[in-house]
Amino acid sequence: MTKKRKSSPSFTKESEERAFWESEDSTPYLDWSKAKRARMPNLKPTTTAISLRLPVGLLDQIKIAANKRDVPYQSLIKAWLSEKLTRS
């Protein structure tokens, strides 16, 4: 016997919907046993701009290393930081 599910309320703003789902359990609204994993390869992670002061010589060395690898220096810095964190 299948359990009757509640219908999701309608929202006029995304913020209303976000607030609703942050406070409500989705189990009465969805049958999670039928859920399938979704792949979204075109999504980009959210980024935040930061200000980082580096000595000029260090930044020059980073730019040279990035140029040798044919990548933007900021991308190289992100890759190095990520590698360091995954090794720790």
Would the pTM count as exceeding 0.75? no
Per-domain residue ranges for the chain?
14-35+47-87
Kindly state the average pLDDT of the residues 57-68: 97
Is the pLDDT at 1 greater than 60? The verdict is no
45-70 per-residue burial string, b: 16 or more CB within 10 A, e: under 16: eeeeeeeeeeeeeeeeebeeebeeee
